[in-house]
Amino acid sequence: MSTTTLPNAAPVDQTPAPAAPPRRTRGRGQGSRVGSLVSHAILIVASFAALFPIAWLVFLSLGPDKDDYLHPGRIFGKMTFDNYTFVLTETNFTDWLVSTLIVSLGTTVIGVLVAATTGYAVSRMRFPGYRKFMWLLLVTQMFPVAVLMVPMYEILSELQLIDSYLGLILVYCTTAVPYCAWLLKGYFDTIPFEIDEAGRVDGLTPFGTFARLILPLAKPGLAVAAFYSFITAVSEVAFATVFMLSDTKYTFAVGLQSFVSEHDAQRQYMAATAVLVAIPVSAFFYLVQKNLVTGLTAGGTKG
């Protein structure tokens, strides 16, 4: 694809940088010491920026007094895990943990399953209505919460699903599935069609081919889809705030908010809760992260 554009490079080359004869052009992967030092420096600064807010939160969570976040220097002298003990024993933390896990794992399982079949169908079969369907999947990404919230509330209350885990799981699936289906379609596209054909020749049904041949090959893509669904479900705030009513069924996103207004001045507990929430999610993240790069863009990268 870029071979057509390459010749254009030649004319530009006629104006070489001052005191830089063409021979000094450095090859890829043979960067100088300076170059690699600069890269390291930038990456270290960026890593620091990425790490600091979270590290800071962890640090603050160790300070026992509510105003410690204003005088971080004092925390060193009196570090304690008391905040964690308080959060774990005196609040609804365990309830929130259970409901968050139910909702997010439910979304992950249902979402990935549904997205996988959809992704496979759009990847392998050009059925009538295919393009419209892809367009629909894209458009559902755009729906702002404001339009859907009230009608969804009405529907869920008619179905008796307000304040129930299943209702929230279904709502999250509507945001997670379209993107995951897209992503998985891209991944399935990279699996050779010959594998399907071989499966068919050996007498497998379309579903059999899918379940026995394609799914095992698509593990990296599935891992990314699972991660995306999980993160969507854990992080979502707006729907959870409106749809979950009883405080034992709050997910963390809502629970943490209620905690803030309840203990507004006691920020140390808030920090401790936030850290406790971050741990399971990050753990899950690092389980799948190996597959992230390959799975995320497999389909989109083919020019």
Partner 1 sequence: MTVAIDRATGKRRGEPDPRRGGRLQRLKQSYQKYWYAYAMIAPVVVVLGVLVLYPLARGLYLTFTDANSLNSARTIGVNEIEATYQWVGLDNYADILWGPTSYDRFWSHFIWTIVWTVLCVTLHYVIGLGLALLLNQKLRGRTLYRLILVLPWAVPTFVTVFGWRFMLADSGIINSALDSIGLPSPQWLEDSFWQRFAAVMVNTWCGVPFMMVSLLGGLQSIDGTLYEAAEMDGANAWQRFRYVTLPGLRTVSSTVVLLGVIWTFNQFAVIFLLFGNTAPDAQILVTWAYQLGFGQQPRDYAQSAAYGILLLSILIVFTSVYRRWLDRNEQSAI
Rounded to whole angstroms, the Cα distance separating 64 from 183 reads 45
Pick between residue 86 and residue 220 the one whose CB is nearest to partner 1. 220
Please report how close the Cβ of residue 8 comes to partner 1 at its closest, in angstroms. Answer: 7
Contacts to partner 1 from residues 201-230, by CB under 8 A: 205-207, 210
Binding-site size, partner 1 (CB under 8 A)? 123
9 binds partner 1 (CB under 8 A): yes
Which range, of 76-84, 85-93, 211-219, 282-290, touches partner 1 by CB under 8 A?
282-290
Q: Measuring CA to CA, how many Å separate 133 from each of 38, 126, 174, 229, 297?
A: 47, 11, 14, 20, 21
Please report how close the Cβ of residue 98 comes to partner 1 at its closest, in angstroms. Answer: 17
160 binds partner 1 (CB under 8 A): no
93 binds partner 1 (CB under 8 A): no
Report how far Cα 23 is from the mean position of its chain's Cα atoms: 45
SS3 41: helix
237 binds partner 1 (CB under 8 A): yes
Rounded to whole angstroms, the Cα distance separating 164 from 171 reads 11
265 binds partner 1 (CB under 8 A): no
141 binds partner 1 (CB under 8 A): yes
For 297, the token pair is 């863009």
For 264, the token pair is 């507004």
Contacts to partner 1 from residues 174-203, by CB under 8 A: 174, 177-179, 181, 185-186, 189, 193
CB 63 within 8 A of CB 79: yes
Rounded to whole angstroms, the Cα distance separating 88 from 223 reads 31
Please report how close the Cβ of residue 224 comes to partner 1 at its closest, in angstroms. Answer: 10
Contacts to partner 1 from residues 103-132, by CB under 8 A: 114-115, 117-118, 120-128, 131
Phi, psi of 30 (to 5 degrees): -115, 35
152 binds partner 1 (CB under 8 A): yes
Nearest alpha-carbon partner for 150 in 238, 91, 73: 238
Which range, of 8-16, 79-87, 89-97, 211-219, touches partner 1 by CB under 8 A?
8-16
54 binds partner 1 (CB under 8 A): yes
89 binds partner 1 (CB under 8 A): no
Nearest alpha-carbon partner for 269 in 97, 88, 94: 88
Rounded to whole angstroms, the Cα distance separating 194 from 197 reads 5
Which range, of 42-50, 79-87, 88-96, 211-219, touches partner 1 by CB under 8 A?
42-50
Spell out the residues 6+ positions from residue 212 whose beta carbon is closer than 8 angstroms to its own.
Answer: 199, 204
19 binds partner 1 (CB under 8 A): no
249 binds partner 1 (CB under 8 A): no
- Contacting residue, 18, 144, 203, 216, with partner 1 by CB under 8 A: 144
Which range, of 79-87, 91-99, 152-160, 211-219, touches partner 1 by CB under 8 A?
152-160
Residue the block writes with tokens 């729907």: 239
289 binds partner 1 (CB under 8 A): yes
47 binds partner 1 (CB under 8 A): yes
- Contacting residue, 76, 79, 139, 247, with partner 1 by CB under 8 A: 139
Burial 178-198 (b: 16+ CB within 10 A, else e): bbbbbbbbbbbbebeeeebee
